[in-house]
């Protein structure tokens, strides 16, 4: 959500500022890159859960940790910026920016149907739906494994929390990415202006709800973290209460001290 200040500036003024060709290029590249990183990182995190369940010790071996954890994450983080750097900065086409539209309207590489379809399919639709599919498959695995461990109440409870978390994460990505993904694909295949006003003015903002709700989902499904946060809040409240009581006690001593000093003729 680091680009949110740029979006808020547009919503406040009604115009993209600074209204320059270079800024619109950067705005589009930055927005598309962050959305891509969010999707691909979450996609690999969903796949990585399967690896962890299949073999908990896989990440204890250094080369496996590099191959199955750090390398995919690096690819997920680096691929979207590099891909969109080519599409937006290097690909030869002419952008007709409209500074009164969010993102100055879409970049010109979408005028190439092949590039547009490739982007929507491989950078948005496939990752978004793969996240949901990977989490649904993991839910099935967790439920299947839980049927054989009825006597292990602790593990069953942990699996139930994981299932709730996975359902919530899948729902977040499906609900908020589905409208913009489907309308974008229809625009590329059939009707270029299909719901384009609604897409830019409503569907585009739905993506931000993922970043807003994802920490809440994780907090609710991790009781240890939730207890730690609640404990810190209580400590902070107690500290403020003690500080206020001390201040009141000190304030109440001022008149008494003044009377004592007056009786001792200190003010004479």
**Model pLDDT for residues 85-138, shown as the tens digit of each residue:** 999 999 999 999 999 988 888 899 988 888 988 898 899 889 988 888 888 888
In terms of domains, do 48 and 131 share one? yes
In terms of domains, do 185 and 95 share one? yes
In terms of domains, do 154 and 202 share one? yes
Say how far apart CA 225 and CA 218 lie, in whole Å. Answer: 9
The pLDDT of residue 257 is 39
Give the range of the structural domain holding residue 236, as residue numbers without chain letter.
Answer: 226-268
Q: Which residue has the tokens 């498959």?
A: 137
Contact between 42 and 126 under an 8 Å Cβ cutoff? The reply is no
**Model pLDDT for residues 3-51, shown as the tens digit of each residue:** 788 888 888 898 998 899 999 999 999 999 999 998 999 899 888 888 8
In terms of domains, do 115 and 129 share one? yes
In terms of domains, do 156 and 240 share one? no
In terms of domains, do 32 and 153 share one? yes
Q: What is the mean pLDDT of residues 246-258?
A: 49
**Model pLDDT for residues 165-207, shown as the tens digit of each residue:** 777 777 788 888 888 888 888 887 887 777 877 877 788 888 8
CA distances from 211 to 72, 81, 169 (A): 21, 19, 11
Say how far apart CA 86 and CA 217 lie, in whole Å. Answer: 35
Contact between 53 and 138 under an 8 Å Cβ cutoff? The reply is yes
**% of the chain with per-residue pLDDT over 70:** 79
CATH code for the domain of 184 = 1.20.1070.10
Is this prediction's pTM over 0.85? no
**% of the chain with per-residue pLDDT over 90:** 20
In terms of domains, do 164 and 85 share one? yes
In terms of domains, do 213 and 236 share one? no
* pLDDT beyond 90 at 62: no
In terms of domains, do 14 and 91 share one? yes
In terms of domains, do 20 and 146 share one? yes
**Number of domains forming the structure of the chain:** 2
In terms of domains, do 213 and 230 share one? no
């Amino acid at each position: 959500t680091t680009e949110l200040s740029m979006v808020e500036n547009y919503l406040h003024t009604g115009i993209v500022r600074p209204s320059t060709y270079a800024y619109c290029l950067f705005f589009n590249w930055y927005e598309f890159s962050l959305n891509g990183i969010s999707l691909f990182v979450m996609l690999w995190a969903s796949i990585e859960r399967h690896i962890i369940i299949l073999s908990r010790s896989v990440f204890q071996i250094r080369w496996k940790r590099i191959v199955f954890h750090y390398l995919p994450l690096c690819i997920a983080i680096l691929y979207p910026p590099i891909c969109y750097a080519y599409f937006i900065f290097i690909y030869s086409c002419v952008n007709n920016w409209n500074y009164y539209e969010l993102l100055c309207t879409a970049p010109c590489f979408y005028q190439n149907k092949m590039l547009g379809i490739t982007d929507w399919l491989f950078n948005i639709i496939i990752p978004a739906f793969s996240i949901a599919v990977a989490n649904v498959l993991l839910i099935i695995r967790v439920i299947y494994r839980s049927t054989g461990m009825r006597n292990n109440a602790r593990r069953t409870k942990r699996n139930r929390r994981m299932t709730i978390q996975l359902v919530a994460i899948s729902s977040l990505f499906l609900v908020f990415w589905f409208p913009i993904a489907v309308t974008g694909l229809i625009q590329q295949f059939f009707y270029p202006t299909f719901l384009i006003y609604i897409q830019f003015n409503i569907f585009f903002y739905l993506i931000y709800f993922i970043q807003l709700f994802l920490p809440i989902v994780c907090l609710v499904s991790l009781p240890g973290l939730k207890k730690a946060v609640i404990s810190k809040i209580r400590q902070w409240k107690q500290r403020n209460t003690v500080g206020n009581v001390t201040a009141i006690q000190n304030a109440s001593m001022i008149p008494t001290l003044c009377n004592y000093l007056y009786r001792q003729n200190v003010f004479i």
